[in-house]
Structure 1
Amino acid sequence: MIVASEPTQNEEVAKDLEAVEELANARDAIVGEIRKRIFGQEELIEHLLVAMFARGHSLLMGVPGLAKTSLISTVAQVLNLDFNRIQFTPDLMPADITGTDILEEDGSGKRVFKFIRGPVFTNLLLADEINRTPPKTQAALLQAMQEYKVSAGGRTYDLTKPFLVFATQNPIEQEGTYPLPEAQLDRFMFHLKVDYPSAEEELLIVENTTSGVTSEVKSVLDAETILRLQEIVNRVPVSKEVLEAAVTLVRKTRPEDASAPDFVREFVSFGAGPRASQYLVLAGKARALLGGRLTVSREDIYALAHPILRHRILTNFQAEAQRVDSDQIIDRLLKL
């Protein structure tokens, strides 16, 4: 009888190197397809792809008309993922997200409850203007984002993986909105700012969106391949030096920590928790692989500091009075 031998260490390394090349090539193909519809926003697209392969949810903050919804739907199409969009409104109920039980007759004439799945049962969920719905409805996403499960009618249902929530917020017109609780903000790996395009980019946008021609995009990956690549991201080794860099950076955001600089003690009420350190390392792994590298560097950690830390650093009244925000604090921390 022939017994299959265990793969050697060299074979495992060779497979990982092949996966790195596959993911780097896929990144170029994905960005190329997205570019057919979205102009500019290079950093935003990079961060969304990092979040995708690091299994992280993202919150996008930007004024209306910056193609946030178009970008996310295009990403779902290019990655061949099931996509649902929920427009969050003040009258939206939790059951509108998770689903509800309805009473119907079975074949024997008996009445039974049947669970009708809500839009959360998808691969990529766009929570549009998430801060326009009350906290009770916002909280309906908490279990799904953390555990990939939904509880309804006394039962728990598994979500299909990959599952990611990309939510949007409008920084203006705050009347009638409900700020996200800190517990829910912490569920988002990235808090991404969507800026105005440059003059050249805006010219391209206007030229291409007013021509009456819609560019078709092709699917580059599928759900099964994305799951496999996500597993490879988890296996990327990280040196102790890089781990210490991530943890040290996060601990310096906490005013009560001995390593916190004076400006953090002056302007910060609460710093980032351990989840920020975890996300810095996970996202750093994904960024390295997307760049065709099998090693994570300090540069990967520092490049992701702003979107991971900006919503986890809570500034105080002194900072507000002097117009100091979390991004400025992160800038100063990275210069230490």
Structure 2
Amino acid sequence: MQDSSSPEAAIARLRACYEALRANISKVVVGQDEAVRLLATAMVCGGHVLMVGVPGLAKTLMVKTLAKSLGWQFNRVQFTPDLMPSDITGTELLQTTPDGERRLVFHQGPIFANLVLADEINRTPPKTQAALLEAMQERMVTVSGQTYPLPAPFVVVATQNPIEQEGTYPLPEAQLDRFLLSVHLDYPSREQEIDIAAMPTRMKIPELPAVAGADDFLGFADIVDQVPVARPVLAYAVALVTATRPADDSADAFVRKYVHWGAGPRCSQFLITAARAVALLDGRPSPEVRDVQDVALAVMRHRIVPNYNALGEGLESKDIIAHLLKQVGQPAAV
């Protein structure tokens, strides 16, 4: 009989929760299997996710269904041009105590939750977007010189519409770099859209069983972090990332011509983290180069800035990544 506290049992529970999470979301969201897979993978890693897609592709529905499946404390913030940083982090209010003393009392904002949906994050000015920076990286916020820890786990899932430019504010590179994955949603197939058309527009999300508690997912992230990685796989991930930097010796003529700014060291870390999770969920004890390649697009696409040459020729970061996956060879064993 397998010990419920053994590493094998913990990994088996992680896989079971991952599959249950995907199954729950698929009961509500039609199609978008790859987006659901990546979103569930990010949850077991404890990483933030940026979801990009045109209106009507179920981005918000997917995250709300995720929240019900997790059973975590969930808050949604609708980002608008007039949203202030204190609307997210919270603010101090002057209150009178029962003994008549007046004092400033901090009232928590919606960011104090396990899962925060930052809906249409690019509709609010940089000053407010920056309010998320410390929270996403440090898992804490600072208000009036006082630091307040956020609940654990803490995950931000942000959505944005890629086609509207008027009245939007592009996310700064420093904030984009905080997201583990950038998940781009595409239109459903014809058969899937027929199924969607048959559904009522005011459909309510059914009651879904929570797949695991918040503490369980903290443990899952620790398990992922402990997965061993062979040195050649680490070398491949670093080679892939450094090849995106035009000034690096490993960059080829294509990158020098079309890339303005490449990915940083955090990208290498996130490639390995996501690859660890993919291997573990696939039943393998350690990631391989193919796992790094599997997650490369989602991890790297928001960290590479194409230049005007690329924009003029209709090339995007995904095209640059596709080129690198063909050109960067697997390093020899070291």
**Structure 1 length-normalised TM:** 0.93
Output the CA distance in 2 between the equivalents of 1:278 and 1:33: 30
CA distance in 1, matches of 2:211, 2:323: 39
Mapping for residues 23-34 of structure 1, pairs under 5 Å? 23-34=14-25
Which residue identity does 1:73 align to in structure 2? K
Query: Mapping of 1:66-215 within 5 angstroms?
Result: 66-209=57-200, 215=206
8 Å CA contact retained: 1:23, 1:292: no
Partner AA of 1:119 in structure 2:
P
Residues 1:22 and 2:42 aligned together:
no
Letter in 1 for 2:279: A
Greater shift after overlay, 15-24 or 69-78? 15-24
Q: Quote the residue 1:4 is aligned against.
A: none
Query: Following TM superposition, by how much is the alpha carbon of 1:255 offset from its aligned partner in structure 2, in angstroms?
Result: 1.0
Q: Distance in 2 between matches of 1:295 and 1:17?
A: 14
Which residue number corresponds to residue 44 of structure 1? 35
Provide, for residues 87-109 of structure 1, a one-character-per-residue CA deviation record: whole Å limited to 9, x for no partner: 00010000000000011111211
Q: 1:213 to 1:190 in 2, by over 3 A?
A: closer
Which structure 2 segments of 5+ residues have no match?
A: 328-334
Alignment partners' CA distance in 2, 1:81 and 1:215: 16
SS of 1:327's equivalent in the other structure is: helix
Structure 2 CA distance for partners of 1:223 and 1:259, relative to 1, 3 Å: same
Counterpart contact for 1:21–1:292, Cα < 8 Å: no
Could you tell me how far 1:259 is from its partner in structure 2? Answer: 1.2
Give per-residue Cα distances to partners, 1:128-172, cap 9 Å, x unaligned: 111111110000000000000010122100001110110011112
Q: Report deviation, 1:292.
A: 2.5
How many pairs were matched up? 325
Shift of the 201–238 alpha-carbon distance from structure 1 to 2, 3 Å rule, reads same
The Cα of 1:301 is off from its aligned counterpart by 0.6
How far apart are the structure 1 equivalents of 2:30 and 2:6? 35
Task: Using the TM superposition, name which of 23-32 and 223-232 deviates more.
Answer: 23-32
Structure 2 partner of 1:3: none
Contact 1:20 1:292 in 2 (8 A): no
Q: What amino acid is the match of 1:185? A: L
d(CA) in 2 for partners of 1:189, 1:28? 20
State the 1:213 CA deviation: 7.1
Counterpart secondary structure, 1:237: coil
- Contact residue 34 and residue 217 of structure 1 kept, 8 A: no
> Residue 281 of structure 1 aligns with which residue?
272
Secondary structure of the residue aligned to 1:141 is: helix
1:258–1:199 distance in 2 versus 1, CA, 3 Å: same
Contact 1:127 1:165 in 2 (8 A): yes
Equivalent-residue separation in structure 2 for 1:210 and 1:75 (angstroms): 19
Q: CA deviation at 1:209?
A: 3.3
Equivalence for 1:320? 311
Q: Which amino acid aligns with 2:98?
A: G
Code of the aligned partner of 2:303: R
Cα distance between partner residues in 2 of 1:161 and 1:212: 31
Matches of 1:82 and 1:38 in 2, distance apart? 21
Residue type at the aligned position of 2:117: L
Percent identity for Structure 1 against Structure 2: 50
Question: TM-score, with normalisation over the residues of structure 2?
Answer: 0.94
Q: Which amino acid aligns with 2:88?
A: I
Query: Residue 258 of structure 2 is aligned with which of 267, 292, 300?
Result: 267
1:334 aligns with 2:325: yes
1:242 partner letter:
V
Q: Which moved more, 1:288-297 or 1:188-197?
A: 288-297
Tell me if 1:299 matches 2:290: yes
Q: Which amino acid aligns with 1:260?
A: A
Shift of 1:207: 2.1
For residues 78 and 202 of structure 2, the distance between their equivalents in structure 1, rounded to whole angstroms, comes to: 28
- Separation in 1 of the partners of 2:200 and 2:70? 23
Indicate the RMSD between aligned Cα atoms, in angstroms. 1.7
Q: 1: distance between equivalents of 2:47 and 2:261?
A: 23
Q: What runs of 5+ residues in structure 1 fail to find an aligned partner? A: 1-10
**Separation in 1, partners of 2:11, 2:123:** 40
- AA at the equivalent of 1:120: I
